[in-house]
Amino acid sequence: MPWPCQGIDFMAQKTNPKSRVHDLLGAVLGLFAAIVMATSPWQVDTSGPYPFYKGALIFPLMALGLMVMGSVPSFIRLLRPGATDSWHLDGGGLPRRPAVVLSMAVAFIIGIPMIGLEISCILFTASMLYYLGHRSPKIYVFWPLLLSGVFYLVFKYFLDVYFPTPLLLEYLGG
Amino acid sequence: MIEYMSQALVTTFTCSNITALVLGTLIGIVVGILPGLGPMVGMVVLLPFTFALPPAVALSLLLGVFCGGYFGGAVPAILMRTPGVPSSLVTSFDGFPLTQKGEAQTALSAALVGSLGGGIISVFILIFLAPALAHVAASFGPPEYFAAGLLGVVLVVMAYREKLAKGLILLGLGLWISTVGIDGPTLVPRFCFGTLAMQNGLHLVPVCLGLFGIGQTLMLVERKILVNARMSLTRRTLDFSKIAATLKYWKSLILSGVIGTFVGLLPGTGSILASFLSYETVKKVSGRAEAFGKGAPEGCLASEAGNNAVPAGAMIPLLTLGIPGDALSAVLLGVFTINGIYPGPLLLIKEPVLINTLYLSMLLINIVAFVILAIWLRPFAMVVRVSNTLLASIIMSLSLVGIYAVNTRLFDAGVALVMGTLGYILLRLEWPVVNLVMGVVLGEILEERLRESLSMSEGNPLIFLERPISLFLFVATFLIIVIPVLWDSRKARIRARNKGRDFS
């Protein structure tokens, strides 16, 4: 059924359900499951007194088996592509914006123990807003400051959540 | 019973519960109105905050988001033909034509009355049906629980049977994720890859928040949701004379509420089916089928009553069997188990005050959501003008700090980012992410019951076929797998035959 919405700019085209990207993802997940399955005797200690049916490995093997079973069609299609099969997914191109935002999020997480929650939050939100196209200082200065203040109040003041002392502060303080 | 109900009344009307309930409903309405977000994002973002709250308050907060989301979804569907939640798509069939005719107030009144009515009817069905189902489930042993859990999982997988292989991969991945960490019965570390942090397992909160919160935010960053500047409402509030006018469709309201509840009761069916089924049934029964699709208020009412009855319907298998029907109720199951409460037939006996508080809170949430939207309709409708990139920044930072706050472990935030990346890929490729969540939530229950059952039979898997209820559930599971496959192959044969005829 077509999506009868106005006001939404979805990808250039609808997602192609037969794109080889689906097969690639299916095969990658299947391969991961097969590797984990093959190495499971080393990943899980089964030397205890429990018989296999009571042990720690029966259920994970069933789960991994499901993954491998589900990925078989993907493997076959990936190795033997049809004449009309293509890699075209939705015309949206490479996900550059999500990749950059994700990198910023990783930096935010690393920044919490390094420079502290407040500064890390201000830097992350400001840079994300600027990157996503907000050029007005009212937005990329006001909102990060507000969020940082709210986080301080909610997490540190009310919920009393422990945040590590920033390494930078320790370094500066000697 | 009366004693429990009076205690529940007191608990429901405590300041903390009412605050949580109103706050949850407000957030639910906002995320419901905003296309591209939805109640799931609201619930998972709030999940870390529920740890500091008593179970009843935490559940009221999340149920507020759950139900409020469905209320809010109708507003942009009617005013802009842009459903806030997928199930409100059906509401737009008649809602938007009414808006074009200048009768937006009629459509909104019908939709909100439908939501309120559907919600209340479904809560009453829940109150009467849950004890009956719990009575049956009281005779369940581990094999029956395993069979019931398997049935739930199979229903969800078969709901996406056109994506069966993808669904199986994701279900397997979810089940496997649930096994990571120290195994309870044997105390053996599993799949920790030599790291200490993995021994605590991959918690439900970072997994769900990553998949839905961060994954959906990355989608929001990529797919621009434009603001519709043409959207306008002349009145600040709902027109109360229109509300009275919609009450003449009370038969359709009851019918849709009942349909929605029973659709919600079945795992894997979801609110979209509830909306469609209610809409189509009312269209046939009303005798005014020709008016539907061109601006019939009854259509808006039926669709909204159907989808708003789903949350209470989904609570029936969750409370009585401990089996969630969809990703939203899977998150609620997570809240129960995190608080040391295990849904099942004994829950109604062990926690009668909590259960009655839950019923009352659900009733109140529906009333609160209706009142909020009726009074502040225009301010809430204007929420769609908020920049989606600003929202993405807020959700992303709130999610990451929230995850850290749960266990004060940066490792959890890392897990959420990995899951967010996976969630983004799966959402962009339109894979059934719900299977992954169901796997994570049900994995522990299924594994425990499987191992208990096999221990009872000393490793003989035939135990599942030797007990009548378990046998019945297994046969039902088998039929649910086989019938659609046979049906599809029959349809394919007929199509091939017709194609052959066309060529000849």
Does the beta carbon of B450 lie under 8 angstroms from any beta carbon of chain A? yes
- Residue B224's pLDDT is what? 62
Cα–Cα distance, B195 to B409 (Å, whole number)? 14
Binding-face residues of B in 453-472 toward A, CB within 8 A:
454-455, 459
Global pTM reads: 0.82
Cα–Cα distance, A135 to A153 (Å, whole number)? 28
- Residue B45's pLDDT is what? 85
- Banded pLDDT at A3 (limits 50, 70, 90): very low
pLDDT at A27 over 90: yes
Interface probe, candidates B390, B397, B421, chain A, greatest A C-beta count within 10 A: B397
| Range with top average pLDDT, B272-276, B292-296, B355-359, B495-499 | B355-359
Does the beta carbon of A75 lie under 8 angstroms from any beta carbon of chain B? no
Interchain contact, B225 vs A9, CB within 8 Å: yes
Residue written as token pair 């959402």: B427
Does the beta carbon of A47 lie under 8 angstroms from any beta carbon of chain B? no
Of B221, B226, B450, the CB nearest to A97: B221
Q: What is the mean pLDDT of residues A95-104?
A: 92
Encode B353-364: b = buried (16+ Cβ within 10 Å), e = exposed.
bbbbbbbbbbbb
pLDDT at B15 over 60: yes
Asked whether the beta carbons of A26 and B165 are under 8 A apart, the reply is: yes
Count, residues in chain A:
174
Domain boundaries, chain A: 20-79, 96-172
Residues forming beta bridges with residue B189, ordered by sequence position: B182
Interchain contact, B401 vs A155, CB within 8 Å: yes
Return the residue of B nearest to A161 by Cα: B405
Cα–Cα distance, B65 to B49 (Å, whole number)? 13
Query: Which pLDDT tens digit goes with each residue over B18-51?
Result: 999 999 999 999 888 887 677 888 888 888 888 7
Return the residue of B nearest to A113 by Cα: B410
Distance from CA of A123 to the nearest CA of B (A): 11
What is the DSSP track for B70-111?
A: HHHHHHHHHHHS--SSGGGHHHHHHHHHHHHTT-HHHHHHHH
Rg (CA), chain A: 24
- Residue A33's pLDDT is what? 96
- Banded pLDDT at B502 (limits 50, 70, 90): low
Q: What is the mean pLDDT of residues B246-261?
A: 90
DSSP one-letter code for B432 = -
pLDDT at B278 over 80: yes
Reduced to 3 states (helix: H, G, I; strand: E, B; else coil), residue B225 is: strand
Top pLDDT among B171 and B48 is at: B171
Asked whether the beta carbons of B74 and B65 are under 8 A apart, the reply is: no
What is the DSSP track for A19-59?
A: -HHHHHHHHHHHHHHHHHHHHHHHHS---SS--GGGSSSHH
What's the ipTM?
0.89
